[in-house]
Chain A
């Protein structure tokens, strides 16, 4: 019987196509918004998790004051304010997992006839742990390489592909600023960072070698950046405070004097990125729920019109034996069919838009089966909730009155 009624509901919808289509519009927009919201929201979640897990967690960087305040005036106007012994002192602090003094910049690499430009990072071995780098082949350099400024390099996957092509880079010699470096290891792939940079376009070399041969700073022992990793997320605020206190003390900064360094929480930057997308998906969620409510009211409205228009039909059905619950089921089913058709259309449009967003903006989207399930559950709920009142009204009609209706 339900099957027969379903067929009838479908027919009833087809009998007034334009009206059905307009009625569904609210549902379509609502469900499309739900689908887009979930695709973007889950995509953002995924992207942030991905980039945090590849960037390394609980990270902050200390930037030397004369470097940042003056990008322009670096060089002659004075030495960077941070130095290697600051880094060593920080690593003694409570709650610190890794500390790596770092000096980085973009440089041209040459191997045979190939050349390629990449981010060259001069640092110490803890950097690899802090940034969660893995070694795909070969081995990392050691503290002894930093002490004796050996010319060894770890290269990222992008560098390996673009500079060495099909050659195995291990043991090969490439040049950075005319200086030959031996490739001792290839880093495991990381992909894009949250700000869209290719993290695999990187070369990591010992800090001392970088400063002497690549960046040519006259202030040995000074560094422009120190990367610090806290042991845990909860430890971050306390760790930041004690690092700042330690540096102020070491740099002999009196009360009231500004810091001569900057501290930037990398994880927080990634988090705020996530927050932005989350806000966006909440906004979409609001649009979605409003359109679903409007769509539901549209369905209720049209069902009320339909019940009035078909009063006589209801009378006839009752006269030949339809019970109240048969009439109720019929009209409820029609509301649900309308709602489901709108839902299906909304689902397709939502998927199309989500894929379009991904295609044109490169924003990460995640399309999951749960989105479809949620959309259909919502459609059924809207159909039943907003279809109930009109259907009940139909079912409670008096057969005689209904038959007399013109």
Chain B
């Protein structure tokens, strides 16, 4: 059995709002093993981004534990979290989030700047990654010169440049048309085939179908967790074979229709 890249236990996050503490995430338990490809689904406001931000070490939980590659990061120092974001995981956003004034190559190389790599190493690694996502010929262009789908591929190249074990993507295809979305999902499929663990958020079932496992959130709680045998490349609909409720969770959300 493969080792767990991510293990969260009793994870909760509450936001302070004008109306008091708002629990955006409640008692989430989840284990993700190396090489898994998992989609997080759920309606808007169900806590998916809150969960992803915790997994991405961008935020810290109010309660619970989060073990990333065996280390509990729930109460780590800011600098230690920055290092994890830099080395251990790569984050892909819905809005691409490239720096507009920098060439694609410099954008891709940026995580290496914070890793302390020298200029030559940065340049070479950024080239390799841009080639990998098929955009090597645009290395010197600015992000504004390429399409959204291409920008997202550059963002993926940036997430990959420090050779992370894990890619976290929060609605990576949310701003893209269906054809471009398919291309991005094919790229994720390839990366997963290379052994990189992928966690992605989506509310589109046909995007989620690319993953090998789907979990569903509702009102801040994890309500279902199913493993499918659909292959990342076939792009067919949902082929749920095995459904098992997450241990220790009430089954109230089991029959929620896909949103």
Contacts and interface: CB of A to CB of B under 8 A. Distances in A.
Interface of A: 1, 3-5, 11-12, 15, 312-313, 315-326, 399-400, 403
A1 B101 contact: no
B115 interface: yes
B211 interface: no
A1 B116 contact: yes
Interface in B30-66: 53, 56, 58-59
4 smallest beta-carbon distances between A and B, as pairs = A321-B86, A321-B114, A323-B82, A320-B111
A316 B122 CA distance: 18
Contact of A399 (B58, B87, B159, B162): B58
Interface of B: 53, 56, 58-59, 78-79, 82-83, 85-87, 91, 93, 97-99, 101-102, 110-111, 113-116, 119, 122, 158-159, 162
Contact of B119 (A4, A321, A399): A4
Nearest to A11: B101
15 contacts: A1-B114, A1-B116, A3-B119, A4-B122, A317-B110, A317-B114, A318-B58, A319-B97, A320-B86, A320-B114, A321-B85, A321-B86, A323-B78, A325-B79, A326-B114
Nearest to B100: A313
Given A324-B78, A399-B58, 15 more contacts: A1-B116, A4-B113, A11-B102, A316-B99, A317-B99, A318-B58, A318-B85, A319-B97, A321-B86, A321-B87, A321-B111, A322-B114, A325-B79, A399-B59, A400-B59
A126 to B, nearest CB: 75
A320 B158 contact: yes
B99 A321 contact: no
Contact of A323 (B53, B114, B159): B114
A7 B153 CA distance: 26
A11 B116 CA distance: 20
Nearest to A399: B58
Contact of B82 (A3, A4, A315, A321): A321
Given A400-B53, A400-B58, A322 B97 contact: no
B223 to A, nearest CB: 24
Contacts of A5: 113
Tell me which of A15, A317, A323, A403 has the highest count of chain B C-beta atoms within 10 A of its own C-beta. A323
A319 B85 contact: yes
A315 B93 CA distance: 12
B113 A313 contact: no
A213 to B, nearest CB: 86
A405 to B, nearest CB: 12
Given A3-B119, A403-B93, A319 B56 contact: yes
B204 to A, nearest CB: 22
A317 B102 CA distance: 13
Chain A CB count within 10 A is highest, among B56, B97, B111, B122, for B97
A315 B98 CA distance: 11
Nearest to A402: B58
A320 B85 contact: yes
A51 B229 CA distance: 99
Given A321-B83, A400-B53, A400-B58, A15 B114 contact: no
Contact of A313 (B91, B99, B116): B99
Residue of A1, A313, A319, A320 contacting most chain B CB atoms (<10 Å): A320
A318 B99 contact: no
Q: Which of B87, B91, B122 counts the most A-chain CB atoms under 10 A from its CB?
A: B91
Contacts of A325: 79
A283 B98 CA distance: 51
Contact of A403 (B97, B111, B162): B97
A316 B114 contact: no
Contacts of B53: 400
B40 to A, nearest CB: 17
Nearest to B111: A320
Most buried by B among A3, A312, A313, A321: A321
B142 to A, nearest CB: 12
Contacts of A313: 99
Nearest to B117: A1
A316 B59 contact: no
B239 to A, nearest CB: 34
Contacts of B97: 312, 315-316, 319, 403
A403 B58 contact: yes
A328 to B, nearest CB: 12
Contacts of A316: 97-99
A313 B110 CA distance: 12
Contacts of B99: 313, 316-317
A170 B161 CA distance: 89
Contacts of A315: 97
Contact of B113 (A1, A319, A400): A1
A11 B99 CA distance: 12
Contacts of A312: 97
Contacts of B102: 11
A64 to B, nearest CB: 81
Given A313-B99, A319-B58, A324 B91 contact: no
Contacts of B78: 323-324
Contacts of A319: 56, 58, 85, 91, 93, 97
A313 B101 CA distance: 10
A317 B78 CA distance: 14
Contacts of B98: 316
Contacts of A321: 82-83, 85-87, 111, 114-115, 162
